[in-house]
Amino acid sequence: MDSFSEPANTAQSPPLPSILDNIRALEEQHHAKGIPLSGRVIHVCHYLPVTCSLNVPSAPSTSIQSVPGLLSPPSTPPVDAKKDGEDAPPSPVDITDGAAQEQGTPANKSKWNLGVRYGHAAMISGIRSLSATHEQLLIGWTGDIYASPPSFSATSSPSNPEGSKLPSKDLAEEDKKALEEAIGNYEDTEHEVKGKGLKLVPVWLDDKLAHGHYDGYCKQTLWPLFHYLLWQDVATEYASADRHWPAYEQVNNIFAEKLKEVYRPGDLVWVHDYHLLLLPRMIRQLLPEAYVGLFVHTPFPSSEVFRCLPRRNEILDGMLGANLVCFQTYSYSRHFTSSCVRVCGYEIAAGAKGIDVQGHVTGVRHCPVGVDAERVGKDILRPGIQPKLEALRALYQGKKIIVGRDKLDVVKGVVQKLRAFEKLLHDYPEWIGNVVLIQVTSPALTDSPKLERQVSEIVSHINGEYGSLDFIPVHHYHQTIKKDEFYALLSVADLGVITPLRDGMNTTSMEFVIAQEKTKRSPLVLSEFMGISNNMGEAMLTNPWNLGEVAAAMHRGLLMSEEEKARRHASLFKQVTTHTSHTWAATLTQMLLERVGAAGMARQTPRLPLELMEQWYKKAGKRLFLFDYDGTLTPIVKTPSMAVPSEATLEALEKLTADPKNVVYIISGRDQAFLEQHLGHFPKLGMSAEHGGFMREPGETKWTNFTESLDMSWMNEVHEIFEFYTERTTGSHIEVKKSSITWHYRSSDPEWGAFQCRQCQDLLENNLVHKRPIEVLVGKKNLEVRPIAVNKGEIVKRILYLNPDAEFVFCAGDDKTDEDMFRALLFPTGGEKLSMEAPLSVTLALKDQSTKPPPVDLALDHEAIFTTAVGHSTKKTLASWHVTAPEEVVESMLNIVNDTKANL
């Protein structure tokens, strides 16, 4: 992924039927290839889209009193409290009323009452739309459970409901089972979709743990960070970024265990949002073959902000457990990629399609969420809207109406918007008395008295400075509003202003466009820092910190001609109604199916079978052990000289070489001096240095140079090219060996180093390789040039040729150069006996080059060859087996030698 440029978003989203056709085609292709698919999609979200309470006898509905805002402006049409909140971050409990409660179908009327939970409605409607073609499960927390349906005042925070909570630990098992049954049979009549259905699967969490996870780590650490704020910037007291980490980790683990309970092979799993960033890796550990996607609904900050997080590595590694990580915008995916490269030191995969973590490639894509345009289109036709719309027109007759509706959260930019409106009245005084701003701020979990007071003071200042007895410019209401009032406000507006400082997906802007289709087709002022701004090109995009720019955009929008309004609106309306929440959900399914079929995912390398290997080991009269060094016997380290063998590694080598039946070789890219320094004290250990350029046989001290008969004059030319790039890449250096030359950039800026590596590789391949008998190898943070006749595969062939009576072979490696070893051990199947010609590494060492050694028959059986790649099971490799880390290679060797010795 090229992080230096962002692609222009010019293409319209394909229509939904086209995406569904692609999904069917991909599923048919996978079935034809034998790739298992169950036809199910499992969504894992923080909480279920239902509220849970004990069913109490019906009583007359108690209306929720409207509570005035922070100010007391002239009365506008009455406003009741009901949360719509689709652009808000999800909260454990959302505001409902009697009408909302009736929308759900309680499955156990005698015990439990289930109601619709509002929040993230776009995501839920998208998920439900897939039920037309796929069986689906949605796993989530139950949320707080109440003794009676909770009610909320207009300004109460959802985290402090008036209803009494029932601690989950106090619920009897029979009550839990009854609730699980009710949730499993729940049907949402508001989003009824004919098809295979959506089953809800509850996750039970201890109340303290649940709120430590959500109110603690999610809202106090991750939410601010992802919106470019650090935790101490929003905390009211001493803030520790790690205080709630144990709860976050534990909740993610509980979700992983729940998924394991319901998982079937071939399921597609989508994990949603920042509450569950550790979950993909946990799923990968429990279910290695699962197809897992992660969609992050929030923004993702730049690497310089993200690296402030103390648990940055754990979060990134958790996310990279997925096969695919998807974001709202390209820029968020670019920030994520940069964080993986700069913070963790991972590399961008070949072809720039994702992040390579020890051979496991995690794809990185972007796909913005839309709204359920069909549902919003129906909602704006509700009979209660038109009377309220007419009342608003009458109340503000003769004045232009600017509408804003946001969470009262510091990242929503309400303070900056009010100051920009003041700037409008100051710079364009003709609007005094002729324009009003109706600003609705619904309560947020992160409400702070300081922010409320600041907003109140600014509103008072503007009204005092520019108002009069018959004109108040700002009407501010700090309360949640019902759908009728909400859509009436959007429909009556002459201008919509939504300017958050940071936001992932803000649905209010899309709903504004749909609501305006039947009325004025008014323009829209948006913040350029919103996740959807790139798709809303015909809106007036502004920097919310630039008050003059926002004020000028307001002025321009209020004076815009009818022709320009119609043109802009038509483009926005097409975008909003084409790329909906339904197309988003289908696109995610298509993306994950594409990853399922990608190279490296279709073939999962099985784990090394220790019992089978031990059986062949015990039967064999002669055994070959062929080990790479870096990344196979020792972990990869930033400073090459620090890669010293562990005590366990030395013990394993000592015991292996002590057995006369074993022939053991280290086949490394290291030079002779390094190998002799750390491993030279094992007299029976064979060693190959510089990727096969030099070799020391077991029991000998002399090294054989396979490059003596080769033309090595090319090294000076390569060295000159490497010097050119070393001068221009701070932190890089050149390593000159006797048979090869390597340019290292591990200590350089990772993105600049990788860019320079590609440039250098192109120069070598286009100008030198075709003239000289050399090849260019791209390694881990390095570029190596070596003779084409010298590689690890030739050394393996030589060892096998000289030991044809070997009946067991174990060969382990971790990177691209080790694939030459695995390739050398691939033999055609079907023949009774294995045989091989004399390899180049044998003929090069002969003094008489005119005599060619004869072919030899091998005593090996196909099943006795254990080629083993170190890394993830999805790593693209020629090896037959895999282990995940160098420690497992050493442990496996110790196990077979110790078990064999114990059985003697």
Work out the pLDDT band at 83, boundaries 50, 70, 90: very low
- pLDDT computed for residue 835 by the predictor: 85
Q: Which helix (H) or strand (E) holds 771?
A: none
* Residues carrying an active site annotation: 628
Interhelix angle 750-767/714-727, nearest 10 degrees: 150
Residue 93's contacts (CB-CB under 8 Å, 6 or more residues apart) are 51, 117, 143, 144, 150, 158, 159, 161
Work out the pLDDT band at 564, boundaries 50, 70, 90: very high
- Average pLDDT (845-862) is 78
Residue 140 DSSP SS3: strand
Give per-residue pLDDT as tens, 148-158: 765 543 333 34
- Average pLDDT (688-711) is 86
Work out the pLDDT band at 561, boundaries 50, 70, 90: very high
How far, in Å, CA of 873 to CA of 618, rounded?
Answer: 27
- Average pLDDT (603-630) is 90
How far, in Å, CA of 140 to CA of 275, rounded?
Answer: 11
| Residue 4 burial (CB count, 10 A) | 8
Give per-residue pLDDT as tens, 65-81: 333 333 334 333 333 33
Q: Which of 604, 668, 612 is nearest to 815 (CA)?
A: 668
How far, in Å, CA of 25 to CA of 209, rounded?
Answer: 44
b/e per residue 620-639 (b: at least 16 CB within 10 A): beebbbbbbbbbbbbebeee
Give per-residue pLDDT as tens, 306-335: 999 999 999 999 999 999 999 999 999 999
- pLDDT computed for residue 747 by the predictor: 87
Pairing status of strand 474-477 against strand 524-527: unpaired
Could you tell me where the DSSP H helices lie in 597-733?
610-619, 647-658, 672-679, 714-727
pLDDT surpassing 70 at residue 588? yes
How far, in Å, CA of 895 to CA of 902, rounded?
Answer: 10
- pLDDT computed for residue 778 by the predictor: 86
| Residue 603 burial (CB count, 10 A) | 13
How far, in Å, CA of 810 to CA of 217, rounded?
Answer: 46
**What phi and psi values does residue 498 have, to the nearest 5 degrees?**
-130, 100
- pLDDT computed for residue 367 by the predictor: 92
How far, in Å, CA of 529 to CA of 505, rounded?
Answer: 10
**Range with the largest mean pLDDT of 179-193, 421-435, 883-897:** 421-435
Minimum mean pLDDT range among 164-173, 382-391, 394-403, 444-453? 444-453
Minimum mean pLDDT range among 100-104, 112-116, 795-799, 823-827? 100-104
12 vs 310: which has the higher pLDDT: 310
Work out the pLDDT band at 235, boundaries 50, 70, 90: low
pLDDT surpassing 70 at residue 34? yes
pLDDT surpassing 80 at residue 882? yes
The strand pairing partners of 354, in sequence order, are 363
Minimum mean pLDDT range among 164-173, 185-194, 246-255, 573-582? 185-194
Minimum mean pLDDT range among 54-58, 182-186, 450-454, 882-886? 54-58
Work out the pLDDT band at 791, boundaries 50, 70, 90: confident
- Average pLDDT (848-870) is 85
Residue 687 tokens read as 């060693």
The position carrying tokens 């030079």 is: 671
Sign of CA dihedral 582, 587, 588, 590: positive
- pLDDT computed for residue 153 by the predictor: 38
- pLDDT computed for residue 92 by the predictor: 36
Strand order across the 50-54 sheet? 112-116, 50-54, 145-146, 165-166
Which domains occur in the chain, in start order?
38-53+110-366 (3.40.50.2000), 373-579 (3.40.50.2000), 610-709+790-901 (3.40.50.1000), 713-787 (3.90.1070.10)
Interhelix angle 483-492/507-516, nearest 10 degrees: 70
Residue 414 tokens read as 């309400």
Minimum mean pLDDT range among 356-360, 848-852, 890-894? 848-852
Look at the pTM and tell me if it is higher than 0.85. no
693 vs 804: which has the higher pLDDT: 804
- pLDDT computed for residue 214 by the predictor: 93
How far, in Å, CA of 150 to CA of 145, rounded?
Answer: 9
Mean pLDDT of the chain: 84
Work out the pLDDT band at 187, boundaries 50, 70, 90: confident
Residue 206 tokens read as 């201890």
pLDDT surpassing 70 at residue 199? yes
Give per-residue pLDDT as tens, 427-486: 999 999 999 999 999 876 555 788 889 999 999 999 999 999 889 999 999 888 888 999
780 vs 581: which has the higher pLDDT: 581
- Average pLDDT (384-399) is 91
DSSP string spanning 811-864?
A: EEE-SGGGHHHHHHT---SS-SSEEEPPPHHHHTT-S-TTPPPPPEEE---GGG
The position carrying tokens 């913005």 is: 368
